[in-house]
Structure 1
Amino acid sequence: MAGRLLDHLSDLRHRLFVGRTAELELLQTALLADVRPFNILYVYGPSGIGKTALLHEFARLCRQLDVAARWLDARAIEPTPAAFTKALRRAAGLPPDGPLGDALATPGGRVVVFLDAYELLQPLEPWLRDEFLSDAPGDLLLIIASRQPPAPHWQTDADWHTLMRVLPLRNLTLQEAQEYLIRRGVPPDEHPAVLSFTHGHPLALSLVADLFDQRPGFHFEPDSAFDVVRVLLQQFLQQAPGPAHRAALEACALVRSLNEALLGAMLDLPRTDELFTWLRSLSFIEPAPGGLCPHELARDILVADMRWRNPDWYAELHRRARGYYIARLRQPTGPAQQQTLLDYIYLHRYSPAVRPFFEWRTGSLRADSMHPADRPALIAMVEAHEGPESARLAEYWLARQPHGVVVLRDASGEPVAFLAKVALHELTPGEAEHDPAVAAACRYLEMHAPLRPGEAATLFRFWLARDTYQSVSAAQSLLFVNMVRHYLMTSHLAFTFIPCADPDFWAPVLGYVDFQRLPEADFSIGGRDYGVYGHDWRVMPPLAWLTVLDEREISGDAHAMPSQPPTPILVLSQQDFSEAVQHALRDFTNVIRLRSNPLVQSRLVLERAGLQSEAHERVAALRCLIEEAVAKLGQIPRLQRWQQVLETAYLHPVEPQEQAAERLGLPFSTYRRYLKAGVAWIAEHLWLQELGETAS
């Protein structure tokens, strides 16, 4: 029965398949030739262009010509040699363990390997080229389908170039698109409007044709295309009309990949297994690493419809998703945290300030610490892109702060990119002047944002990929993810600097994430100028920063602030902080005066009251912090007298201090001395909390 059903599905696909005549003729010629004219057929094109449909027709042609075929879907394969070998053996009907060559051996001596969604296996490409293909039988034909064109080395290497044919797929021609509509039974008088709307895009044609199948008598109006999309989505939901199913579909469209736990968090439901199973049954939902995801065109349609139809629900789903991710970010670091950060950033993919600057597919690239053997390769990367003077500085910092280096490795473990952080607060005398970049950052801090004792500042001194330098790429995107990890996970972080070889190029996205252009921190090395961006985390700490970014994504305004913006944090020196504590103690019973105390805008108070708290809530938080500190003082036996003096002088004053001293059995001079010591202790205790340290 399974075989007959599969044959029926194949026949249905074939009956609806149109166009691609030249591509089919090319493959047929290659299959009938005595000697393979090429060994790699590389098909590429954007999402929804019909790559998989063409590969199914190719496979049908192989069956007709009695040529053995092996079908691999990269969405179900980890980009490692072992996983690829197991998948190929499984496709050949062999046990997963065993030599790779068995999967390519056939009685007829010829085999075709189909590799769909190849873009997911890009990190494995060196192994596929240098080992798999190099050792494969000479009559092997590998047919690849990818969203991306072949990497440059396939074309620049003369040997491989002769063995490859490249087929870029485009939209169907007008005649082919019309033929498809005829086969789908779309009324002829509707063809002009549909063809004008879809421009021959295969998936769009299919979705509109589905609408005609589901709604007899339907009339298509291009000017109401958005409404058509909405109706089309409703048709997909006809078999499950419950609102929970629609909500599940919208949640799936919003996030990078959806698993049951995330679905439960977004819908606020204890069990979602039935909804998740229903999602898997939809024709435009695909399995992906970590869960489910809709086809990209369907995803965009769903999100656009939701943002237009119910923006409040869109904002709520967005809030629940980011809450889920932030909770997971508090878990132990490692690859899972890296994926969570990617998932979080994916929520911002529709922002015009983010989308052009981020690659969401990072393949098997993984972040690692630097090994001693990595240093020559990392220094060579810097020299190749920035010159020998920068390379010498890279060697200097890699030796002095190796703990600040993050290396990105490909599937083979080779370094392909790295991020070198210089901890400015850890510098020893004279180190800063060794490097113009570090010296400029230190001067900026001294003039505009001096560090307080215990605070940290970071310069992302080098961030680059071996092949693409600082251009947009999967490696660059993953380096940015590790920068975000640093912002969220570094204790007492006060300031970060990002130098750019092309600062104007990165201005839109760095402005979006609230990094300010800092010309005073710019520097030149080896005749090349670098522009610097920075962010003061004391003024806008990480949680407030995330709130601002979420508001910008939801509103679509790259400069938006929350409707109730966070109270700006006041960065106080230790002396100013201590003076503010003295005034707060003296004004403890005067709520009006406390409202003007600088401490109500300190990080300490705002973290207790909330970044968007009202003035009276901040005053209450300040009073509570002072009461807790005085109580803590009373828990130290030798300092209990100090606590008693503070209580009678400031927290519960009921009589002049002279009488309070007499009641405590203390000379007034001793009372005043204890009071001064107690105030100093409270100021020091609260200062440590302001810096994020544990006070004792």
Structure 2
Amino acid sequence: MNRPTVLADRLRDKRRREFFGREAELAEFTAMLAGQAATPAVLFVHGPGGIGKSTLLRNYAELAADRGRPVFEVLGGDVGGTPAGFLRLAAAALTEPDAVLLVDAFEDCQHLAPWLQESFLPDLPVTALVVIAGRCAPDPRWTAAPGWHQVLGVRELGELPAPAVEELLAARGVPNSRWAAVTRFAGGHPLALSLAGGIAVRDKENSGIAEQAVVAALLPHLLAGDVPSPAHRRALEVCARAYGTTEGLLRAVLPEHDAAPLFEWLRRLPFVSPGRFGLVPHDVVRAVLSADLRWRDPAGFAELHRSLRGQALARVRAAAPAAVLREAAALRYLYRDSGVPTYQHQWRRDGEVLESLCQERDHAEVLELARSSGEAERVEWWLARQPGAFRVQRCADTGELIGVTAWLRLLRPEPEELADPVVAAAWRHAESTSPVREGEHLGLARFSLLRAGHPGAAPARDLIRWRLLAEMLRGERLAWTYLVAEAGEPWRSWMTESEQPPAGEPLEIGGRLFALYAHDWRNRPVEQWLEAADLRLLEGTAPAEAGVLCRAEFDEAVREAVRALHRPEALATSALVRTRLLAAHCGRRAEEALREVLTTAIEGLAADPHCGKAHRALVVTFVTGTATREAAAARLGLPFSTYRRHLATGLDRLCDSLWHWANQAA
């Protein structure tokens, strides 16, 4: 008796009819099932989130089942991170001659790759087939291992080609008039196409919908009836912007709401997955949520960003040593759309590369890596001088050294320390612009070495950047920081954009030109520095670069500013706006803050018994104001020459006072 058709059959048939653009992948797997020569026994498919890896594996499973092959499916997130966890899910495949093992979301257990390569996969029956799908490509050492290049196939799953995109949209019932708007937003990304196409079908009234309207409408329509309240929508927006969303983060950002039910609601959403450090939405959904909020409510987007930034900064500063990098990564992630490449990071599974303090047992490997940069002698000297400044980055699964970084803390360098030309250049620049004062220190990222070409270099670079950011944000009495990077473009533009302009002339290190990129944290404290980054992210503009004026330039700027005391437009463009004088006035209009600083400084001279006449000359001339200098002299009852002498004295004392303020502000 024939089995009756069930709903699963209809669903499978519909999925097959709406599966487009992967003909080559299906043909290859069909050939693998048939045992054709030169087909791989292990197929590794990689690509970004939402590109269709899971859908492809579901089709593979159906093809295999149709041919009577036993199918075993493993989801990387269910493995638990250990070989035992993987065996719990896949051990049955070891005893099935025709087994087809499909491993999805391999990025969640990618650190098990060496064990799979060396232990598990070789024990499978020779007729078994394996398909592994993940975001990251396999380690080149796997593909290059003896014997594996003959049985391992690596395929990158890209976007759908244009014909397949059109087929998909037509199958979903998207009118031709809407295709351009949908594809401008989604490109050939299957998940984005499906989401945007669904919106276009439901919103048939507006056939001329623009690209931004698709973005803005995507999530509200997608979640119609599924977002219970404005609080739930805000929680969803937090999840879209944050590195990882925890109940604690929701409680901090949404203090007026009960965080527990909001978190549970987020966790149940189909496009949200649990990560190591909180809930993480699907990449495309994250991008769409962000775009929707930014377009629909720019002020709300800015408010949310600043709230998340405040929380992230507080966590970086309060973090225990073991959590510092994670919190620095969370802060840096908030600026991923700012357009500054150094704020971006390579997506990798957390824990693939680990950082630790450099120990004596690491020294030999550190020096071996340093030899390729021509810096081995300097590295060895500083290892002896400041061993605690060095950290190493190692591959989690093999322990192989991938990177080394050193953050030197310099109070007042000794002559032997100044023998290092990089240290000497940094100290010389600081002394010639704004010297390091008693109790302050200078931070120098002296070494940042990576093993070139290593697959772990990208995540190791991320760790180094997070470490440097943490040092800058957590440094107590930190006056200057200097980073060493390549001279010229594009680094010059990148670093200047992040308010770390080049300091002095380029330096030759190991036969290559490098530059020191500097930031004075007394001139632009952390909060102001991050607010400048906020402007770049939120408005696409940057504030005027923080200025360091020599004494003559400073005095001239003070004299010009007091003459413009009652002209706000002139005060707003004063060179003093970009100095440390306004460090305590963060968030206020520049002209208002500068006027207050100037008038307060003038009033402060009244307390000096030697400045009484000079103080009165300043008040009458600039604060209360007169039409002419002669009128000011007459109001004071002084001969004009005497008035001019008192005024000159007052201006000199005012400049002295403000210069002192500027160099004490921190």
User: 1:560 aligned to 2:560?
Assistant: no
- The equivalent of 1:404 in structure 2 is 389
Q: How does 1:428-467 map to 2 (within 5 A)?
A: 428-433=414-419, 435-467=420-452
Change (3 A) 1:89 1:133: closer
Deviation at 1:367, TM superposition (A): 2.2
Secondary structure class of the residue paired with 1:330? helix
- The equivalent of 1:105 in structure 2 is 94
Change (3 A) 1:38 1:618: same
CA distance in 1: counterparts of 2:45 and 2:236, whole angstroms? 31
| 8 Å contact kept, 2:195–2:222 | no
2:518 to 519, 529, 534: 534
User: 1:391 aligned to 2:376?
Assistant: yes
User: 1:299 aligned to 2:296?
Assistant: no
- The equivalent of 1:43 in structure 2 is 45
1:415 to 401, 408, 412: 401
| 8 Å contact kept, 1:539–1:571 | no
CA distance in 2: counterparts of 1:109 and 1:556, whole angstroms? 59
Task: Output the TM-score relative to the length of structure 1.
Answer: 0.73
Secondary structure class of the residue paired with 1:256? coil
Secondary structure class of the residue paired with 1:518? coil
Q: How does 1:478-627 map to 2 (within 5 A)?
A: 478-501=463-486, 503-520=488-505, 522-557=506-541, 559-560=542-543, 612=588, 614=593
- The equivalent of 1:73 in structure 2 is 75
Secondary structure class of the residue paired with 1:349? coil
CA distance in 2: counterparts of 1:455 and 1:314, whole angstroms? 37
Instruction: Give CA-to-partner distance per residue, 1:638-668, whole Å, 9 cap, x none.
Output: xxxxxxxx9x999xxxxxxxxxxxxxxxxxx
CA distance in 2: counterparts of 1:245 and 1:409, whole angstroms? 41
CA distance in 1: counterparts of 2:601 and 2:129, whole angstroms? 73
Instruction: Give CA-to-partner distance per residue, 1:37-68, whole Å, 9 cap, x none.
Output: 42321212333321111011112223333434
Change (3 A) 1:124 1:616: farther
User: 1:147 aligned to 2:135?
Assistant: yes
- The equivalent of 2:642 in structure 1 is none
1:375 to 360, 363, 367: 363
Q: How does 1:63-212 map to 2 (within 5 A)?
A: 63-75=65-77, 83-92=81-90, 102=91, 104-106=93-95, 108-133=96-121, 138-157=126-145, 159-186=147-174, 199-212=187-200
- The equivalent of 1:628 in structure 2 is none
CA distance in 1: counterparts of 2:509 and 2:200, whole angstroms? 64
Instruction: Give CA-to-partner distance per residue, 1:441-466, whole Å, 9 cap, x none.
Output: 23333333322222211221111222
1:473 to 458, 462, 472: 458
- The equivalent of 1:660 in structure 2 is none
Instruction: Give CA-to-partner distance per residue, 1:129-160, whole Å, 9 cap, x none.
Output: 34544565545533222334444444555632
Deviation at 1:194, TM superposition (A): 5.4
Deviation at 1:347, TM superposition (A): 0.8
| 8 Å contact kept, 2:94–2:123 | no
Deviation at 1:327, TM superposition (A): 2.3
| 8 Å contact kept, 1:359–1:472 | no
CA distance in 2: counterparts of 1:191 and 1:497, whole angstroms? 50
Could you say what the CA RMSD is over the residues aligned between the two structures, in angstroms? 4.2
| 8 Å contact kept, 2:522–2:665 | no
Q: How does 1:335-350 map to 2 (within 5 A)?
A: 335-350=322-337
Tell me whether 149-158 or 337-346 shows the greater mean CA deviation. Answer: 149-158
CA distance in 2: counterparts of 1:192 and 1:383, whole angstroms? 54
CA distance in 2: counterparts of 1:154 and 1:182, whole angstroms? 41
| 8 Å contact kept, 2:178–2:200 | no
CA distance in 1: counterparts of 2:210 and 2:313, whole angstroms? 39
- The equivalent of 1:273 in structure 2 is 260
Instruction: Give CA-to-partner distance per residue, 1:568-610, whole Å, 9 cap, x none.
Output: 89999xxxxxxxxxxxxxxxxxxxxxxxxxxx9998x978776
Change (3 A) 1:535 1:68: same
Q: Which runs of 5+ in 2 are unaligned?
A: 1-5, 552-576, 612-659
Secondary structure class of the residue paired with 2:471? helix
CA distance in 1: counterparts of 2:436 and 2:349, whole angstroms? 36
Deviation at 1:349, TM superposition (A): 0.6
1:425 to 406, 411, 415: 411
Secondary structure class of the residue paired with 1:422? strand
1:317 to 272, 295, 304: 304
CA distance in 2: counterparts of 1:88 and 1:122, whole angstroms? 11
Look up the equivalent residue of 2:85 and give its one-letter code. A
Look up the equivalent residue of 2:244 and give its one-letter code. S
Look up the equivalent residue of 2:297 and give its one-letter code. N
| 8 Å contact kept, 2:110–2:349 | no
Deviation at 1:383, TM superposition (A): 1.7
| 8 Å contact kept, 2:32–2:41 | no
| 8 Å contact kept, 1:367–1:408 | yes
CA distance in 2: counterparts of 1:507 and 1:446, whole angstroms? 22
Instruction: Give CA-to-partner distance per residue, 1:507-561, whole Å, 9 cap, x none.
Output: 23322221011133x322343322221111221222222222222222122x236
CA distance in 2: counterparts of 1:228 and 1:52, whole angstroms? 25
Deviation at 1:350, TM superposition (A): 0.6
Change (3 A) 1:362 1:515: farther
In the comparison of the two structures, how many residue pairs are matched?
583
Task: Output the TM-score relative to the length of structure 2.
Answer: 0.76
Identity of aligned residues (%): 33
| 8 Å contact kept, 1:285–1:293 | yes
CA distance in 2: counterparts of 1:59 and 1:208, whole angstroms? 27
CA distance in 1: counterparts of 2:479 and 2:152, whole angstroms? 53
CA distance in 1: counterparts of 2:65 and 2:579, whole angstroms? 73
Instruction: Give CA-to-partner distance per residue, 1:10-31, whole Å, 9 cap, x none.
Output: 6664453334233223223223
| 8 Å contact kept, 1:470–1:501 | no
CA distance in 1: counterparts of 2:31 and 2:7, whole angstroms? 30
Look up the equivalent residue of 2:311 and give its one-letter code. Y
- The equivalent of 2:563 in structure 1 is none
Deviation at 1:251, TM superposition (A): 2.1
| 8 Å contact kept, 1:51–1:145 | yes
| 8 Å contact kept, 1:190–1:219 | no
Tell me whether 51-60 or 418-427 shows the greater mean CA deviation. Answer: 418-427
Deviation at 1:415, TM superposition (A): 2.8
Look up the equivalent residue of 1:500 and give its one-letter code. A
CA distance in 2: counterparts of 1:382 and 1:396, whole angstroms? 12
Secondary structure class of the residue paired with 1:531? strand
| 8 Å contact kept, 1:286–1:294 | yes
User: 1:237 aligned to 2:220?
Assistant: no
Look up the equivalent residue of 1:46 and give its one-letter code. P
CA distance in 1: counterparts of 2:237 and 2:258, whole angstroms? 17
Look up the equivalent residue of 2:83 and give its one-letter code. T
Instruction: Give CA-to-partner distance per residue, 1:65-112, whole Å, 9 cap, x none.
Output: 34344433334556xxxx2424323424xxxxxxxxx45422x23433
Q: Which runs of 5+ in 1 are unaligned?
A: 93-101, 573-599, 626-645, 651-685
CA distance in 2: counterparts of 1:504 and 1:291, whole angstroms? 37
| 8 Å contact kept, 2:434–2:548 | no
Look up the equivalent residue of 2:223 and give its one-letter code. L
User: 1:224 aligned to 2:210?
Assistant: yes
| 8 Å contact kept, 1:171–1:202 | yes
Secondary structure class of the residue paired with 1:165? strand
| 8 Å contact kept, 1:608–1:621 | no
| 8 Å contact kept, 2:492–2:501 | no
Look up the equivalent residue of 2:222 and give its one-letter code. F
Deviation at 1:286, TM superposition (A): 3.3
